[in-house]
Structure 1
Amino acid sequence: MTDEQDPGEGATGAPSTPPPGVPIARTLEAILMVADEPQSLVSLATAIGAPVPAVRQAVETLVADFDGVDGGDGQPGIRRGFELREVGGGWRFYVREEFDPIVRDFVLTQNPTRLSQAALETLAVIAYKQPITRGAIAQIRAVNVDSVVRTLLGRGLITESFTDAETGAINYETTELLLTHLGINSIDELPLISPLLSDGSGGFGDGSE
């Protein structure tokens, strides 16, 4: 399918449609607010059952709106603290670079509680297999890991390493903050995982894929 073709039906049958009277741009804004991965124009068009050219125009409207340019509604624009950025062939919201230190400090001070068991297990997978995608993490753990990955990102324990140019999948790796918490200088100082497993298997840290 080219980006000029209309999308077909979604996975659950007929694609959803925007509420009556709501501009496509605002519908896309709502979807992108909860998206964990960059979304292509085709995937966005499929999600709302709209032509790709209309979705492209709506995305351009959102970009201009968030950048403080007139969004097309005749109202003066206000530059937002976040931006809609194209990464790896898809679109996703990001905090503007100049606000990164403030947001990081806020998140760290707002999350003093201990990590859940699920978050600790996910962090271990990332530590031993980095860089690794969300899909690969979910395959190893056999559960959905979206929320725990967001938690680890918010705590500053992992970061987005790079985005695969072909698939658009984000790869994650651990941060210096994790090393500080663990009291080690390098991720290479982590112990082998295999001796810690009761079944004697090599685990995900033995270098195999």
Structure 2
Amino acid sequence: MELISIVEALLFATQEPLGVPQMCAAVKDTAKDIVDAATENAQLPGEAVQIPEWVTPLAATTEEQVRAILDELIARYAAEKHAFTLVERANGWRIAARGEYAEWCRALYPGKKVHRLSQPALETLAIVAYRQPITKAGIEAVRGVSVDAMVQQLIDRGLMKIEGRADLPGRPLLYGTTEAFLDHFGVRSLDDMPNASELRRVKLPTAEEGAPAASEQPQEQQLSLAPVTQPEELAVAES
């Protein structure tokens, strides 16, 4: 039995994303159980234990091996032109249909409509994603408009959450993004967002300074919104 087949079976059997450590532990623990069972079933003391040759290598499986297997599976699915592939999410890997088959997969769930985000919602999310944790006043200083309703809408949709309170007068709430946000835009972590390190260093207006008019906003602030506003919907229908 090969490691690549075992990893593929684990991904096929689960309903939730699987992390590399989880897969590695499942392989090693099962191999150990097979060895222990063979030892217990030995008929006489000192009798040679019959352990299948393929079990020993599996007991020493490493996370690096599992990651290499995942890359091999992705390449194999692409070469064989399968309708599915492997995708990595914030909390692990899973099998998913390719994006070009999303419309057909969506037909299985006629009651679920695609909810696209409006431009104001995308702009608000971009600010929060790159500068979190951030207060509502901080968001409004960049956008130049009130964001009370927009923030609540994004929280209700599970894309934003309250992170705590700022150490400022009045102890305003701090906001951040959720794992659902990462899933929606198809990124594993906030560091995988386009130009993340550069855009986090861009100086933004503060609540005290007041937000400039849209036509007067510096070019770098406009660019900071572009990467997140482009992919309105993750084009992968997950199994």
TM band (smaller chain): 0.3 to 0.5
TM-score by length of 1: 0.40
Normalising to structure 2: TM-score of the pair? 0.35
Which structure is richer in relative contact order (CA contacts within 8 A, separation 6 or more)? 2
Larger Rg: 2
